[in-house]
Amino acid sequence: MKIVVYEIPVGCCAPVSSPEEAAFKESLARLKQDGAEVEVISITQSPQRFLSDPVVSEITQKEGRDAFPVTLVDGSLFLKGRYPAYEELRKS
């Protein structure tokens, strides 16, 4: 399983700015242990990746920032507007 999360971070300095984000990033290591391939793509670092994926590009253009973070699982849309919980991803 390949999980890709596209995010638009907003915190002033520190790496996390919401409890869900914190929980999600905590679970990254566990997901990897479970055998998933996980990638987090930040708009400040890789803006072009937001455009190169057709699903994400469409969301970016049509819905704007409200739709982020966007999670894709194996290339298709899994979740918009918030970070996924570990359990949700486990089930999928």
Minimum distance of another protein from residue 72's CB (angstroms): 13
Q: How far apart are CA 86 and CA 36, in angstroms?
A: 12
Which residues in 4-43 contact another protein (CB under 8 A)? 8-19, 22-23, 25-26, 28, 37-43
Work out whether 61 is an interface residue with another protein (CB under 8 A): yes
Work out whether 79 is an interface residue with another protein (CB under 8 A): no
Cα separations in angstroms, 30 against 4, 49, 56, 68, 81:
15, 25, 25, 23, 22
Could you say which of 1, 30, 34, 47 contacts another protein (CB under 8 A)?
A: 47
